[in-house]
Amino acid sequence: MSKKYAFLFPGQGAQAPGMVKDVCEAHPEARACLDSISEIVGEDIPALLWETEAAVLSRSDRSQLSITAASLAVAAALKAKGIEPALCAGFSLGEFPAMCLSGVLSFEDTIRIVKLRGEIMQKVCDDIAARSAGNPPGMAAVMGLAPDQVKEIAKAAGEAYAANMNSVKQTVVSGTAEALAKLEELGKAAGARRVMRLAVAGPYHSPLMQAAADELQKVLADITFNDPKTIFLSNVTGKAVTSGAEIKKNAILHLTNPVLWTDEEAVLGKIIQEGQAAGEEWSILEPGPGKVLCGLWKDTEFSALVSAQPVNTADHIANL
């Protein structure tokens, strides 16, 4: 039976001070990955990951680079152990390490784009906050209501938009500070189990990020996006994409369009089903900080086929 791995890379909100430090101490390849990133951006990346306060680390211009660095460091340790992906997907920001591991982007281009993307998005978020008397925009997870119901509540809240289709039990909404406050009020009145603000600095995957999309398009203009060497799933389409040109187009649409994660999970589930029928053994790994995507996988109808495992400690890697 052949062994295949699906790598699911986490997005913003997964960051935490000290992330993957023990992985880098146990695996020289992981530390070398961080040192290479430090050279590319001219910054001490280990210090960013291990010595930055949580509040600062949550900013787009800090979290995007740090999460990508942590994810790629874990992937480097896995590669040294002979574990490489047959399928790559990433949640929001996680699409960039997914592009790197799929061969869509070079390692250096991945890092340079992520750094600029984070800076661009943070500036737009600061501009939105300035127009709201300093109140920062953001995202909130609505739990316990159907996605369609959350979409209607978001419309009624003002500048709020359903942004992440996480699961049948959870939809994340992006919006201004005022709209998210209204969303919480309307969500609770509609019977939501919980409306929880997320540790992110902006209203991602919504029309509020159009200015950032316009700037990112300029950044990507001269960057080569190759056709993926692995199966690559897209947040924008919710499907497998085989064209580098389409992935490049989606990288811009990504900022203003919702993350169709439940659609991607369904595609992954069907690939695993078909693979198992053909004698393949699949494992799902979440390389990088946190374990959010593993939790979302548990909510799918396919979770009985194979479990998803977080990979962000030395013990996790040793046990694979």
Catalytic residue list: 92, 205
- Per DSSP, what are the bridge partners of residue 249? none
Give the separation between CA 142 and CA 157, rounded to whole angstroms: 13
Q: Which residues pair with 115 in a beta bridge?
A: none
What angle do helix axes 210-220 and 244-253 make, rounded to 10 degrees?
150
- Rounded to whole angstroms, how far apart are CA atoms 116 and 47? 19
With 0-12 / 13-18 / 19 or more C-beta atoms within 10 angstroms meaning exposed / middle / buried, residue 259 is buried
How far lies 134's CA from each of 125, 131, 159, 208, in Å? 10, 7, 16, 16
Task: Tell me the residue type at 214.
Answer: D
Q: State the helix-helix crossing angle for 28-41 and 107-130, rounded to 10 degrees.
A: 60
Dihedral sign from CA coordinates of 32, 75, 80, 108 = negative
| Residue among 142, 188, 182, 183 nearest 165 (CA) | 142
Say which residues have a Cβ less than 8 Å from residue 150's Cβ, sequence separation at least 6.
Answer: 142, 162, 171, 173, 187
Tally of CA atoms within 13 A in the half-sphere of 299 that contains its CB: 17
Q: What is the CA radius of gyration of the chain?
A: 19
SS3 of residue 278 by DSSP: coil
